[in-house]
Every structure is written in C-alpha cells, then in structure tokens.
Structure 1
Amino acid sequence: MGVWWGPVVRVLVLQAAWALGGGQVRYSVPEEARAGTVVGRLAQDLGLEAGEPEARRLRLVAQGRRASVEVSGASGALVVSSRLDREELCGKSAPCALRLEVLVERPLRVFHVELEVTDINDNAPLFPAARKNLSIAELSTMPGSRFPLEGASDADIGANAQLSYTLSPSEHFTLDVKSSDENRKSLFLVLTKSLDRETMPVHRLVLTASDGGWPSLSGTVELVISVLDANDNAPQFNQSVYKVQLPESAAEKTLVVRVNATDPDEGLNMDFSYSIISSVPIRKRDLFTIDPKTGEVRLTGALDFEDARLHELQIEARDKGTPPLSGHCSVELEVVDVNDNAPEVWVTSLSVPVAEDASVGTVVALLSVSDRDSGANGRVCCAVWPAGPFGLVATFAGSYSLVLREALDRERVSEYEVEVRAEDGGAPPLRASRGVRVPVSDVNDNAPAFAQAVYTVLARENNAAGAELARLWARDPDEAGNGHVSYSVAEGGVGGASAGGGWRSASSYVSVDAESGRLWALQPLDYEELQVLQFEVRAVDAGEPPLCGNATVQLFVVDENDNAPALLPPAGGGPGPGASGEAAWVPGAGPGAGAWWAWAAWGAPAGQVVAKIRAVDADSGYNAWLRYELWEPRGKGPFRVGLYSGEVSTARALEEADGPRQRLVIVVRDHGEPARSATATLSVSLVEGGEAALAAAGSSSGSGSGLRASSGAEGGASSSSRNVWLVVAICAVSSLFLLAVVLYGASRWAPRAAVLSGPGPATLVCASEVGSWSYSQRQSRSLCVADGAGKSDLMVFSPNFPPPPGAAAKEMQPEPPALLDTVSGPPFLASRPFPLPALPARPLGSRWWESGSAAGACEAMPNMKGQQQRVFGTPCIWYIGVFFMVLSLLGRVCESRIEP
C-alpha cells in the first residue's frame, strides 16, 4: 500500500501546481484517505509567508454540507479531517470535485479551491442476489439457447467499475457477454449442449464478476440450473430494449411503458406473467411497478433528476409451463430535468458594521449561490434589492461579493436591510432570496448646529445670582460621543464706561451649563452699569476630531425702578443762599439732601419764578421721568411747583399777610412701578424788593459762588459778550460825564429849583418763553433775554424828570430811556438814599450775576416803593462827586462781571 501511495501524492502535487498556474487552486485526494493526510500546502500555494496563515486567519468555508477537509492553522496545509467516501459524496458522477472557499482576513480575500476525490477500488462487484435459480427444459431447449443473467454492479467508477465476468467450467454452459455501451453489459448463459435431466438434474455454476481495479475485487453469484421437461418455448418480447423519457415532475401512477411478449406454446405453457426482476440503481427498485397481465410499467413514487438521471429495469415474462420458461427485456428510463429546485443563497462571510466613511468598493459580505437543476434551469442570476448603495460583483462561478457602490450617510440611513435575490433560467423561473442586515457605524461628520444664529435674551436687572436666563440647544445628528454636545461661553464682553472703565468678559456675568445649555446669571445685573451684553456660545461635540458650532447671544438688561430721584445742588455748586430764581442749598448727608432756601419780594406778581428744584434719576424711560409735587403746604398756598420743570413760582401776588417765611416740602417722584421719590425742603423768605436784591448780592459775593444764568446759558460769557459790556461801560461813563457838563452849564443859566419826583407805576417786561420776567419802577425798566440767546441781561434806566406843568403825576410818561449796561448794578443801587454797600474786591472774571433756573427765568428786580429822588442844583462839586462815584461803581461792576 505504501508503494502505491507515493506516486499518487506526486501526481496530486503536480496537479495542484498546474491549477495555480491556471488561476485556481486544485488538489486531488484519493477517497478513504486517513484523517490528517496532507492534501496540499495551501498557504504556500496561495503565496502566504510563514506565520501569515495563522495571523491572517486562513480558514475554510463549508458550503451546504460538512466538509471532510480542514486547514491547519499553524502550517496552513489542507488536511483530511474525516473519512472521504467518493461514492457517498458523488455517487456515480465523475469526476467527483468539491468546491471549497478559503478566506484570508486583513485584507479580506477569498480563494476558490477545487478538491477532486479520486476513486479507489474499495467496492467489490455486487450481484442482486447471492443465488440465481434457472429452469431449463430438456430436449426442447436446443443448444445455443440463451438465458439472460442479471449482471453485477460496482459503486466505483472508471476502471474500478469496469467489470469482467467468468463462469465456472461446464460442458453444457458458457457465458456470453455483450456490451450495449461502455457502462452496461448484457450477460447471457448459453446452452452449448442439450441437457439430460436423468444424467444431471441440477447444474450448479458460479458466475464471478471482477472489476478493473488494482488489486482487483470480485463478486460471485451461484447459478442453480434445474433441468425441466418439455416446455421448450419461452415467451419472447417484441424488442429487447425499451427506451423511455419522463420529466421528473411526472405524477405517481404515470405510465412509463407497456412491454409486450408472446409465447408460441399452448395451454399453460403459453400463459405467462410479467415481473420486474432487477433495477439499477438497486435502491430505486420500489419506484416502479408492472401489471403482471398487461405489462404496463407505472410509477409508484416521484422521480428526481438530481438523484438519478437514468433508471434501468429488467422485465421478465414467465410462462406457466412445466417447467416454466421466461423471456427477458430491459427498460431504460431517462429522467428529464424540470425546474423544480429554487436557487440557494448562503452568506459565507459578513463584515459589519460598515463605517459611514467607507470607500466605494468596500466588500461587505461574501455570498454563494447554487441551483441543483441543470442547463438553463440551473443558471442563476443575482441582484440586490432595493437598488441602493450596495451592489453584487461576481468573483467566481456561484460566488458573489456584496460591495459598496455609493457613499453612506448614517444620519440619513442608519441601517440597511439588503435582500439578495436569485433567479434561475427555468420556465417559469424560480426565485430565492437572502436578507442581509448592514448597520452603518457613525463617524463625526456633523458639527453641532444651533436652532438660531442669534438669540435675543431679556433679563431684568437685579436678578438673583444663579437665575436661569435662557436655554440654548444645538443639534448634532451624530450618535454616541460624536453627538454629545457640550456648551461654553466662547467670547464677548463689555468695555468702556459700561464696565467701569475697563474690559470685562462675558464669562464674568453669565455662565452656560456644559450639558444642558442653560444660560445662568453669575451675578445680579445692573441696568445702570450694563445695558447690552453680546457674546458667543460655542457647542462642541465629543468626536475625534471634535467639531463645533457658534451662536451669538444678545443679552438686553431690562431696567427696573431701583433708583430713587436724587436732588442736585444749585448750578453754582456752593453752599449759601442763591440769587432770585435759584434756590440756595445747604449740604446734607446724602445726594440731594439738605435744606433749600430762597428769597421772594412782597408784592411779586403771580408766575414769578422763585427757585428751581433740580433732580436726576439713574433709571431710564418711565422709571427716570420725574414729576414735582408740592406736598406742603396743602391747599391754596402762595406758591406752586411746575409738574415736570421743578420751577417754584408764585401762585398769586405775595402779600405781607403771607408772613416773613414760607416752608415748602416738594416731593420728586418717578413714574416707575412702584414709584420712588425724594423730598426737598425749600424755605422762602419774604422780604422787600430792595432787601432781597441786596441780600442776594451780598450773599453771592460772600459765599464765593455767584448766581447762574438761565438753563440755556453756560458758566461764563463768551468773548463777544465781554466786548459788548466793555463798550457799554465806556459809553455809560462818557454819557454821565457829558450829562454832568451839560447840567453844570444849565445850572449857570437857569433858575435853581428843586424838583421832587415820585415813583411811577411799575412795569413788567417779559422776554422768556417759559415765563421769565423782570420788574422795574417808573424810572427804570429791565430787559430779560431768553435762554436760547445765551446773552447776559441788559437793564434800561430812565431818569426822573418833572412832569409838564398842569399834568398830574400819575399821567406822566417816561422819557426815552438811555441804554445802560447792567454792569452798573441793580437799579436800586442808584436810587436809594442809603449808602452803597462795600463791594469786596474780586478778580477779573468772577461771576456774581448767575441764575440757577434751568428754564432761564428772569430775576425779580426790586420794586422801589415810595422812593423819591432829588435833583440837586448847580454846585459843580456835586456833579463831579456824582460822576466819580458812578465811575467807581461801574469799574467795580465791570471788574466782577467781565471774565478773562
């Protein structure tokens, strides 16, 4: 046996080398090889280096049935794992080739191996029975008579199935063997010499069948021949071989063929019956039945082309003579294939999940498709449904690869249910399908996206620290970590005056929760400090690399009424009493706190502005819209306050009955909810007009801060105003000098007379849009300039001349006034008989005629009551004295009025 095995191995190696050169690995192994027998060096033949088979997981994929070979993991050799029986695997088919698929991973590749199982002579010829009984009539059976014998069968193929027959030596019988084709032989027992029952009633012969294998195997059957008397005609069939074709779909009881035999004998010797004496394949004998009388052969089961393509029946017609004689024929049934087998689809390898960034052409699965039918019925076409990102590529006969045809997007489709459909070429075609589930794995290819590019958030000021302001949300369609979004404040802030003069980042005001996107306030917000805060919020996913998206947040702080009105000091800024129209202020403990006081002259008409209360509110809008209300005294008092201007004016003409002092409590409220307020206490002293003006002038010079002009005027006069005052002062001095000279000359030529003139009626001249006014006597008039003009006040004086003779004093009309600059001082300074107050020395540019009223009200000029002026006569020294006195007064006034 060892001598025979060596050449076989060499032949197998040569065949394998030839197969590799042709593009397919082919091996050959004899059946019944021992387990562990090396079929071939598969790894070496596939071009794998040492160690690669195990590293790349070289393995064998079985298709449909259990394979009897396996791949050795260490060496990569193809070895026999279990008993190989060619007859069990392929039956009579030749050659017996097994198609194997070998997979190699990293990268995934498939190789097709064809393993041919060669036949060895392991099956001896086998007769249908161990004994065959024959009856031959004597005498009537002539020499040369032929008696068919049932031949043996051999499960092997090729030379191992080539049978030869020998008959044991006999002088009466010989064996005739005829070959109908290369696979079948007809055996006949030929009578060579007439039989003599009396000499030998029974002949026992041994028929031996030997195959062509090496060593040859054989099988025997014992022929027991009984010699009968005279029934010398056996039934004869009209043809020795009946050839029939039936489709494998033929139903049970279908008529296969009707055989016909005749017997020329008479009586019982011609009465015969039909029977099936043998069938090939032997295991299919019960598939047919014959009617003993009619010779009709019918099916008792279903034909199967894939199991047996050809059936051979031996039919015998045996008469009832003594001894009975028989005739024989054969029926050859060819089974015609029909499309009764649907294709079969197997998934031999599946590489899932598939990354959504996998390249086109990536192999997802390996498939095997087969159909047991033949011809067009066995030709299979495959397709993928639905038509999408996957396609099929034929790699070998019956093998396909499921590959990627298009780019994947997990956010659009996260999983595919692919159906591989197979259809054969039969009529009608049969179909089969195999579902393949292909999940798509995620990659980080989507950045977080906010629902809005800009978020507008409103937050009330004085909110609690930690209060939730808004909730931001960014969507990331990726999954797991690629879709997990975290939030942070990226950039932004506020600078300049809103941040206290420096830059403050947005992260010092707000914070965003990294997980939920909730926007929190880190500290209470103050509208007065911060109105608008703009910053960016960034959303970053946890992918690799991470992707991010931004959104702009505009945080608007909504004002709350959290600031009460604050009272402002007078425009002069210093303590002490102010001029008329501006309240004086004594500093208190807080902003705007303290006592306010002002003067008002008795007899002041209704509408005269006494003082102006100023207040501000740090809030905005309605919360900063202030209104002024007179809280005390209630009822009909002598004063009233402007609802929105804060000007305190007389509600009626002031009388001596109003007392020397009025205490006013003024409440300043805003329009917020709830409203906040501040209270100012104003003390108004009621004095005579001259005393009020003198007190105002004296206190202004003593306190270090003068009266401010109306709200439209600035702290000092412009350069053009200074030039006008200088010109007016010079003209006034020159006019007085000339007047003195003229009066002196007139006194020389006219009689001396003392003219007493009384005061004329008072005249009110208003020039302000807001009701400012000035008050003058008969002999003096005051001109007030509106706020917008930005000019200093001008005073117009008229000298008192005696009325024409015969005219009443009350009917006297003033002469055209002479234009004098107010730097000459208030009019009462020139008309009152008491000495002039000493004016303190002030540097040039100091201001004392300033009005604190924001509305630009004109100041109340004193009303000269009951004053009389005497025009003295001719002494020249008197005129010179008056001239120098007036000149000195004008110099001081100009020095204190004109700014540098």
Structure 2
Amino acid sequence: MELKILVENPLEMHYVVVEITDVNDHSPSFPEREQTFEIAEHTLPGRRFQLHTAQDPDAGINSIRTYTLTSNEHFEVNIRQGDAGKVPFLVLKKSLDREQKDKHTLLVTAVDGGKPPRSGTLNVSIIVLDSNDNRPVFSQEIYQISIQENVPVGTSIFRMNATDPDESSNGEIEYNLGKTLKKKVYEIFELEKLTGEIRVKGIVDYEENEVYELDVEASDKGTPPLTGECRVIIKIKDVNDNPPEIEVTSLSNTVSEDSKPGTVISLLSVKDKDSGVNGKIISHISNDVPFELKPSYKENIFSVVTKGFLDREQVSHYEIIIKATDCGEPPLSTFKTLNIQISDVNDNRPHFEHNPLQFYLVENNLAGASIFSVSATDKDLNDNAAISYHIVREGAQNDIMSFLNVNSDNGHITALKSFDFEVLKKFQFQVVATDSGTPSLSSNVTVNVFILDQNDNAPVILYPVSSNGSAEGEVTDHSLFGLDRYTGQIRTHRSFTETDEAEHKLLILVKDNGNVSLSATATVIVKLVEPKEAFAASDVKSATKVDEEDNVTFYLMITLGSVSVLFIISIIVLIAMQCSKSTDYTSKYLQETNYDGTLCHSIQYRSGDKRYMLVGPRMSIGSTIVPGSHANTLVLPDRRRPSGEVRL
C-alpha cells in the first residue's frame, strides 16, 4: 500500500510504499454452488457457455490461477482474462445426443496459486434438449402377411409398429399409406393413423389380385417432421368361391338326322378362376342324350359329338346339359345347356293308313264331282313331307281309268262320268303318293270301289219275269186265280168247270222295294181251250215271243223244239183221251202226280250273288202275256221273304 508523508521543513511531500505480504488464507468460491445449462442436442461443437466466475480474497499468487473440469467427452473449460480477472467458459467440443444421454453433470474447480493451492467447486448440470433428429423406425423393412380372400369388411389384418427415440411431439408417430400406390389398394385397405392398424374396407378377391404391396410411412410431429418407411406385402389365399365357367366357342345348333356317330356339333372350354384343386375341373354331359363330351389335346377343351344315330321323327329337339364341377371343398358346379335342333332328311315314304282302301259309291253320281279322297301322311318336314298324288294309268286294263282324275295336292278323286250299278259294280285302281324330297320317295295304295245300287229302274215284266218285287192283280173271277206276291206265280184255286168263262183277263202290277217304289203292269189273258188248241196256241205264242227277242237262228231252234214237244204232247193227250171219257176232261187231263194247281211254270237260276226266277204260262193251257211298256230288267240282290198269296 502507498502512504503519503508531508515534511514541513523544508516543506516536502513524500510517498512511501508499504507492501503487505499476503498469506493464502482464502479458498476460491463461486457465487452459486450450481449452474444449469439447457443445450439442444443439435448444437454444433465449439459453442461457448459462460460459467460463474469464482472469487478469491487472496491476492497475488494466492489468487485464482485456473479453472478445471471433470473429464468428459463433450465439454472443456476455456478461460478468458477479463477486467475482473479470469472468466471461465464451458465449450462444447462434441455434439450431444439426447437419445444417448439426456443430462450431463460436470464439476468445475477454481484453483488459486497458493502453496498449497486452494480451490472451490461449481456443480454444472447440462440438460440436453431434444431435437427432431431421429426418424421413426420400423422393426422390419418388409413385412409379409397372408390373408384369405373374402375376408369380412372391417377385419384388422395387421398392426404396424414404428419407434422414434425423440421425445414429445418429435417422437409422436402417425402412419399413412404411400402416395404412389395403385388405386385398388386404397379401395380395399385402410391404415389407422394413430394405431398403425391395417383394416379391410373392400372385397378381397384372389382371382382379381393374388398379392398387394403397401408402402407405409411413419412420420413424427417434429419441425420439420421426419418420416420412416416400410413395405407390407399382403398375399391372398385362395378360397373355392368361384364355380367353373363354361364357354361355348363354336356351336352348330342344327344337326342333320343322317349325321354319323362322332359328328362334332360344338367346341367349348371350361375354366375356373380358383387355383390348385379349387380350379381343377371335371366335366360331363349330365342328361341322357345321344351326345358325348370328348376331351381335346389341350386341357379343359372339349368337343360335343354325336354318339349314336339320330331320328328327327322320334326326337326333333335336344337339350344337352353340360355339367362342370371343380374339386374344391365343398365343390362348386356350373351347368350349360345347348339347344340342338335335328334337321329333316327325306328318309320316310308317304304312308297310307290302310291299304287297300275300300270306297262305296252310289250309282248315278254327278259327273265331274269329287267322289271320295285318298290321303297319305309323311313323317318328314316341309318339302320332304309335301305330297302329290297321281293315278297309275300305265298298264291299266280297265278303261275306267280314263274317267278318273285325282287332285295332286289334296288327293280328291273326281269321276268324269256317272256310274251305273247295272253296268259296273266294282272297279279297282292305284294311286301313288310322292313327296317332294330330293330324291323323292313314294308309295302306292290300291283303291277298290264298289258301286251301290239306287232304285233307278222300274220292274220289267218279261218272259221269264224277275222274281224280285211284289205283284198285285185284278181278275174277273176272284175265286178262280191266286197270285204269289213275291214269286209272281199265278195259281188256280180250283178246277175249271163248264160254267166258267172261256176267257179270263188278269191285270198284273209289279212293284220293287226301293225307297221310292217303282212299278210296272202287265195284262195276262187266260183262255180255256180244248187240249189240241191249247197246244197250238202255246206253240204260236211261244214262237212269236222268241221271234221278237232273238235272231232268226234262235227262233228256228225254238220253233223246231216247240214242234217236237207239241208232237210228243199230242200223242200223250190222245192216249189219255181214249182212256177217259169223263166230261171233266180238262181237270182230269191236268191232274198229274206233281200238279200244284197253277197255270204258270217257273224257272229259277243264279248269276253270281243274284237270284233270278223266270215265270211263264204252262204249255198245256193256252195263255197270252201282254208285257208293259218298260223294256229293262231290274236285277236286285236276293231278298228272301216268306212267300204269300194274294187272292184275286
């Protein structure tokens, strides 16, 4: 220290320096025992942080000489000389990492220069402040998971797990799907931001996509945020959820009935979107049809072929049901129906239901009108079944064919003439039915036509007279003669006497049995004569009758026969007259063993199924038959009735 001394004589002022020697009796001390620093972990090395300055009352060499720091890798002490002495600084020599150590405790020591030196300490706490220097990290870069298709919507299939060592918002993570994924991924999957849970939000279909790749991002909330990435590969497991598919690649839906077995009518392919056994297919025709399924050289390619002969007339349409079944569990099946039409071939002839045919035609039909029709059927179709008709005329021996015509379209038979039962009772011809196929087929039918009689002829009284019909008569003496109404026989009821008239006139009426009865009349004159005159009259009448009906030769033959018979009868009569002188010579003469009391005789004969009876007067008694005006003979079927007698 300096002292100021004043000397008055002479007056002088002197300065005296007094040096007090210090003793190191004080230790350095800090104003505070602890000092705390908050240093961000991203602070760069070289950053300086000022420490509290220590105080030491000692002076000189005993004052604070230096500062020391406990050994560490991140900090060091740097001293700067200031006005107040030495000032310590804490210098960052290596970056801090909060994730490794979030707090550092240091001890700073101030040392004086005494001997021995004294020191004082300062506790320094370094709190490392977090910086967003860590990205979220996934436990794996690639995750692989498998799920079955058709997983229900809303199902959680995976939970992401990313970590971030940062704290607070720097360590809070949000999850998001990458922005460059396919659109389908966003439609099927969703990612929960906070939990990292992946859920199904759409239909998962193995057949549409077998694998999905999801890029997932995990971002913290730092400023700026840091992001970590990973990939999630989702493999879809197949489920047998698809039935087989049958595709018809070609089809001939019309098949000719003459197709040979093995004819291909369709080609088809089968497929199944499922995989493995779920996609293995077994195919066959499930119904009973004359077709079969044949595999091709290529898997799941088949052809449908005929396995037998076809007949359109039996079955004209087939439904072929094809069944394809996969081998999944449970198996799924698909059905496909092919509609096949069988086309016609001209393999059937026209057919007449009956052969021969019989028709009955009433005589006097209208010429040019249809009298009946024939009809044939054909099992074929269209032109193959279009039938035309014609009459076989070649080689026909009957001229009747020229009077018949057939409508080629409908088989109606037309007669160009009117038939007469009395002229033609039956005829036969053939009709041919021909289809319009290529080549055409035909068949024929024999037609038998029977003409039916109409009552179109009145009775005709001839000698001999037809026995059909009935007769009625008028006589002058009703007690003498009788008439059988069915045979026309005139009988005597008794023997002639001398008192009887010498001539009797009989009016005979003959009627037939038609619906509209026709009739004829004849007058019979019976004369009573001597036997010789009877024979002569009989001869003359017989000769006259024959001359009217026959030619000259026949007349001569009849005449010669009559003369011969007359000669013989005359001899017999003369002998009889000599033997008997009875006045009732007429009765005795007529009495013979088989005499039936009639003055007529009859001759019966048959022609085919008809019966004829010829009635005329006996040659032993003269009689005259006056015929009516009708000139035809009516021939009817034999109608037997009990014979009756009409008294005249």
Question: What TM-score results when the alignment is normalised by the length of structure 1?
Answer: 0.46
Match of 1:517 among 407, 411, 415: 411
Quick check: 2:42–2:131 contact (8 Å CA) kept in 1?
A: yes
Deviation by residue 1:864-884 (Cα, 9 ceiling, x = unmatched): xxxxxxxxxxxxxxxxxxxxx
Instruction: Please list, as runs of the form range in 1=range in 2, the aligned pairs for 1:35-46 lying within 5 A after superposition.
Output: none
1:424: which partner in 2? Answer: 326
Matched, 1:471 2:373: yes
* Contact 2:535 2:620 (C-alpha < 8 Å) held by counterparts: no
Task: Work out whether residues 492 and 597 of structure 2, in 8 Å CA contact, stay in contact via their aligned partners in 1.
Answer: no
2:153: which partner in 1?
A: 252
Deviation at 1:660, TM superposition (A): 4.9
Amino acid at match of 2:176: S
Go from structure 1 to structure 2 and tell me whether the alpha carbon gap of 1:547 and 1:282 turns closer, same or farther (over 3 Å shift).
closer
Check 1:324–1:859 CA distance in 2 against 1; reply closer, same or farther (3 A cut).
closer
Cα deviation code 1:733-790 (max 9, x no counterpart): xxxxxxxxxxxxxxxxxxxxxxxx986775456335352699xxxxxxxxxx9999xx
SS of residue matched to 1:507 = helix
Map of 1:766 onto structure 2: 591
Distance 2:376 2:330 in 1: 57
Q: Determine helix, strand or coil for the equivalent of 1:615.
A: coil
State the match for 1:859 in structure 2: 620
SS of 2:383 mapped into structure 1: helix
State the shift of 1:858 in Å.
7.7
Give the aligned length: 470
Rounded Cα–Cα distance in structure 2 between residues aligned with 1:306 and 1:704: 120
Contact kept in structure 2, 1:510 and 1:521, CA below 8 Å:
yes
1:384 aligned to 258, 262, 285, which one?
285
Matches within 5 A, 1:153-552: 230-277=131-178, 281=182, 284-285=185-186, 287-321=188-222, 324-395=225-296, 396-490=298-392, 503-552=397-446
> Which deviates further from its counterpart, 525-534 or 430-439?
430-439
1:772 and 1:858 in contact (8 A); partners too: no
For the Cα contact (< 8 Å) 2:169–2:222, is it kept in 1? yes
Of 612, 615, 623, the residue aligned with 2:465 is 615
Q: 1:282 to 1:858 in 2, by over 3 A?
A: closer
* Counterpart residue type for residue 628 of structure 1: A
Q: Given that residues 229 and 322 in structure 1 are in contact (C-alpha distance below 8 angstroms), is that contact kept between their aligned partners in structure 2?
A: no
Deviations 1:570-625 (A, max 9, x none): xxxxxxxxxxxxxxxxxxxxxxxxxxxxxxxxxxxxxxxxxxxx323xxxxxxx61
Aligned pairs for 1:842-881 within 5 A: 859=620
Contact residue 389 and residue 407 of structure 2 kept, 8 A: yes
Pair 446,296 (structure 1): closer, same or farther in 2 beyond 3 Å = same
| Amino acid in structure 1 at the alignment position of 2:306 | L
Q: CA deviation at 1:254?
A: 1.6
Amino acid corresponding to residue 401 of structure 1 in structure 2: S
Counterpart amino acid of 1:859?
S
Q: In 1, are the aligned partners of 2:215 and 2:230 still within 8 Å (CA)?
A: yes
Aligned pair 1:666/2:508, yes or no? yes
Larger Rg: 2
Indicate which of 602, 627, 631 corresponds to 2:474: 631
Long gaps (5+) in structure 2: 1-39, 46-93, 97-128, 548-556, 605-613, 623-648
Cα distance in 2 between the residues matched to 1:507 and 1:690: 59
Structure 1 position 478, deviation (Å): 0.8
The offset of 1:507, in angstroms, is 2.2
Q: How does 1:692-731 map to 2 (within 5 A)?
A: 692-693=533-534, 696=537
Q: Contact 1:639–1:649 at 8 Å: present in 2 too?
A: yes
CA contact under 8 A between 1:459 and 1:557: conserved in structure 2?
yes
User: Cα distance, 1:705 vs. partner?
Assistant: 8.6
Give the residue type in structure 2 aligned to 1:692.
E
What is the one-letter code of the residue matched to 2:507?
Answer: V
Distance in 1 separating the partners of 2:536 and 2:354: 69
The superposition leaves residues 146-181 of structure 1 with CA deviations (integer Å, 9 ceiling, x where unpaired) of xxxxxxxxxxxxxxxxxxxxxxxxxxxxxxxxxxxx
1: CA distance, partners of 2:399 / 2:602: 49
2:44–2:95 CA contact under 8 A, matched in 1: no
- 1-structure distance, mates of 2:197, 2:494: 150
Equivalent-residue separation in structure 2 for 1:287 and 1:773 (angstroms): 131
Tell me which moved more, 353-362 or 641-650: 641-650
Which residue identity does 1:536 align to in structure 2?
A: Q
Query: Structure 1 residues 437 and 544 mapped into 2: Cα distance closer, same or farther (>3 Å)?
Result: same
Partner of 2:523: 681
**Cα displacement (A) at 1:446:** 1.0
Distance in 2, Cα, partners of 1:855 & 1:287: 127
Looking at secondary structure, tell me which structure has more strand per residue: 2
Instruction: Rate the CA distance shift 1:268–1:715 in 2: closer, same or farther, 3 A.
Output: same
Report which stretch shifted further, 305-314 or 472-481.
Answer: 305-314
The structure carrying a bigger helix percent of its residues is 1
Gap change, CA 1:405 and 1:704, over 3 Å in 2? closer
Task: Report if the CA contact (8 A) 1:454-1:551 is conserved.
Answer: yes
Change (3 A) 1:354 1:195: farther
Deviation at 1:246, TM superposition (A): 0.9
Rounded Cα–Cα distance in structure 1 between residues aligned with 2:174 and 2:598: 160
User: 1:462: how far off?
Assistant: 1.5
3-state secondary structure, aligned to 2:457:
coil
For 1:566, what is the secondary structure of its paired residue?
A: coil
SS at 2:392 equivalent = strand
Q: Deviation per CA, 1:791-827, whole angstroms, max 9, x where unpaired?
A: xxxxxxxxxxxxxxxxxxxxxxxxxxxxxxxxxxxxx
Question: Deviation per CA, 1:290-313, whole angstroms, max 9, x where unpaired?
Answer: 223322111232223334322233
User: What is the CA–CA distance in structure 2 between the aligned matches of 1:527 and 1:468, rounded to whole Å?
Assistant: 18
The one-letter amino acid of 1:299's match is V
Partners of 2:253 and 2:340 within 8 A in 1: yes
CA distance in 2: counterparts of 1:476 and 1:704, whole angstroms: 64
Counterparts of 1:260 and 1:758, CA distance in 2: 172
- Taking a change above 3 Å as real, the CA distance of residues 232 and 671 of structure 1, as seen in their structure-2 partners, is closer
Query: What SS does structure 1 have at the residue aligned with 2:424?
Result: coil
Instruction: State the AA in 2 paired with 1:381.
Output: I
Task: For 1:583-598, list aligned pairs within 5 A.
Answer: none
1:559 aligns with 2:433: no
Counterparts of 1:632 and 1:671, CA distance in 2: 24
Q: Which amino acid aligns with 1:422?
A: A
Distance in 2 (alpha carbons) for counterparts of 1:699 and 1:370: 118
Tell me the distance in 2 between the aligned counterparts of 1:137 and 1:308: 48
Query: Is the CA contact 2:531–2:621 (under 8 Å) kept in the aligned structure 1?
Result: no
The change in CA–CA distance for 1:439 and 1:140 in structure 2 (over 3 A counts) is farther
Residue 244 of structure 1: how far off its partner (Å): 0.7
Separation in 2 of the partners of 1:370 and 1:693? 121
Higher RCO (C-alpha 8 Å, min separation 6): 2
Change (3 A) 1:770 1:340: farther
Task: Please give the secondary structure, in 1, of the residue aligned with 2:262.
Answer: coil
Report how far residue 452 of structure 1 moved.
Answer: 1.8
Mapped partners of 1:467, 1:289: distance in 2: 95
Deviations 1:475-518 (A, max 9, x none): 11111110011223336999xxxxxxxx4145235433222222
Cα distance in 1 for residues equivalent to 2:535 and 2:175? 167
Shift of 1:674: 2.5
- In structure 1, what is the Cα distance between the partners aligned to 2:141 and 2:544? 159
Structure 2 distance, partners of 1:275, 1:702, is 148
Whole-Å separation in 2 of the counterparts to 1:315 and 1:140: 33
| CA RMSD in angstroms, aligned pairs only | 4.5
- With over 3 angstroms needed to count, the CA separation of the structure-2 counterparts of 1:760 and 1:426, relative to structure 1, is closer
Conservation of the 8 A alpha-carbon contact between 2:474 and 2:507: yes
In 1: Cα distance, 2:491 partner to 2:226 partner: 163
